[in-house]
A = this chain, B = another copy of it.
Amino acid sequence: MPRFSKAVSSLRSSEIRDLMTLASRPDIISFAGGMPGNELFPVKEVEELFRELDIKKKQAAFQYGPTPGLPSLLESLNGFLEKKGLPVKENRLLITTGSQQGLNLLGKAFIDPGEPVLVENPCFIGALSAFRSYEAELRGVPVDSDGISMNALHRELERKEKPKFLYITPYFHNPAGLLYTTERKEVLIRALQGSDIPLIEDDAYGDLYFYEEDRERLRPIKAINPSGIDVCYTGSFSKILGPGLRLGWMLVPEEIYGKCELIKQSADACSPSFTQVLADAFIRSGQIYSYVESVRQEYKRRADAMVSALTEYLPDYVQWNKPRGGFYIWLTLPEGADATKIMMLAIEGGAVFVAGKTFDPAGTRNNSLRLSYCNNTPQQIAEGIPIVANSIRKICG
């Protein structure tokens, strides 16, 4: 019987795996996954881009690369990020094996076992799992429709043991779907300035906005570049090219970069050169901009279909917001409702989603659920939402 480390005992098996098995059944309409639609990937374009590369670049795709990333991709990605107003010159860019690895590296850089970190409630499960793997004490701070709740955050900041960082996903939040207001970001910045608490700003979905008028609200805190806060900005190619490339990035202050580079060296030596070469070509060809524009429109079409089905079928006591971008709609049910029961019933009916407690740092609060529209046609949405709505009515009355 092997003697395992204490750290692994704090890892729990995620229900997500079983859900994904269900989600892949052809007889079930899945609103569970956070994966882009397969039919939306730029397969032909990327294949063509690879074919046109010279032999040196193709060979480099097979070879080890430097731990921080291939120089050519670091250069083109710097350009992409600079267009968003990010302070690339005053920070360092590190390519990560998906943004999941970025969160894991930051977890390892900051967390000793038992130390507290602040996360939103609800929170992205990949972040919860990364921080749990270093035995963090997860302190959840509720969100409202404008962003993280400032009253609750202030209470957390006043506690004796100071948290190692605050992790937020302000732009089309996973799972809550919300977009922080400019005002909420401003008060958040003021609360953190000089507090010695780094901010991890996860911007995996920000490019998928549905309304041009939201551009200002989408300006990252990292781009605002407030003094007195170490902002660790993470991003991903998963939603703007393909998650199967396993490429993300972090843009962070020099000192934090140094630690993360060392951790990455011991984690996987370097991210895949093959997909870095592809991502670099995708940016340099300019196709990344036209591609993102086209998926933005497609996801809006899917979101609109879901909004219209929810408006028609949901009982009045369910609270939810129309999405302004991203992949998700978050339903809040009456106090005490059990989303897992609703889910079991929905599966019988032929539809599946993720129950709220999966995203609760404490793993308990369950009067909520996440619906994804990213991987469904409007027709599937029109078929599946009545099943979800009926299941809610049966359980909640």
Using a CB–CB distance below 8 Å, which chain A residues touch chain B?
1-8, 11-14, 17, 20, 33, 35-36, 38-39, 41, 43, 46-47, 50-51, 55-56, 58-67, 97-98, 100-101, 104, 108-112, 115, 126, 129-130, 132-134, 164, 196, 198, 230, 238, 241-246, 255-256, 259, 262-263, 265-275, 278
Contact B246 A17 (CB under 8 A): no
B43 touches A104 (CB 8 A): no
Residue in contact with A126 in the complex, picked from B33, B65, B269, CB distance below 8 Å: B269
Residue of B at shortest CB range from A272? B246
Whether A62 lies near B43 (C-beta < 8 A) is yes
**A5: which of B60, B61, B63, B134 is its contact (CB, 8 Å)?**
B134
Interface of A is mostly: helix
Q: Are B109 and A5 neighbours in the complex by a CB distance under 8 Å?
A: yes
A98 to B: closest C-beta gap in Å: 5
User: With A and B bound together, what is the CA distance between A196 and B63 in angstroms?
Assistant: 38
Report the minimal beta-carbon distance from A311 to chain B, rounded to whole angstroms: 30
Complex alpha-carbon distance, A56 and B41, angstroms: 11
Give the chain B neighbours of A39 by CB distance below 8 A: 59
Chain B residues lying within 8 Å of A66, measured Cβ to Cβ, are 17, 20
**Docked-complex contact B58 and A43, CB < 8 angstroms:** yes
Q: Contacting A265 at CB < 8 Å: which of B97, B129, B255?
A: B129
Enumerate chain B residues within 8 angstroms of A133, measured Cβ to Cβ: 108, 263, 266-267
CA distance A279 to B66 in the complex (A): 22
Contacts of A273 in B (CB 8 A): 243-246
Q: List 26 A-B contacts (CB under 8 A).
A: A3-B110, A3-B196, A4-B110, A4-B259, A5-B115, A11-B266, A12-B262, A17-B67, A38-B62, A41-B63, A43-B59, A46-B62, A47-B50, A61-B242, A62-B242, A62-B243, A97-B97, A97-B246, A97-B268, A98-B268, A104-B266, A129-B266, A130-B267, A244-B274, A268-B268, A274-B278
Most buried by B among A60, A164, A266, A272: A266
Q: Would you call A262 and B11 a contact (CB within 8 A)?
A: yes
Q: A100-B268, A129-B265, A133-B266 are in contact. List 16 more A-B contacts (CB 8 A).
A: A2-B230, A2-B255, A3-B196, A6-B112, A8-B259, A8-B262, A11-B266, A17-B67, A33-B64, A63-B242, A101-B267, A104-B268, A272-B272, A272-B274, A274-B274, A274-B275
Q: How far is the CB of A372 from chain B (nearest CB, A)?
A: 13
CB–CB B269/A98 < 8 A:
yes
Closest CB of chain B to A142's CB: distance in Å? 24
The smallest C-beta distance from A332 to any residue of chain B, in angstroms, reads 27
In angstroms, how far is the closest chain B Cβ from the Cβ of A45? Answer: 11
Minimum CB–CB distance from A58 to chain B (whole Å) comes to 5
**Once bound together, how far apart are the Cα atoms of A8 and B130, in whole Å?**
16
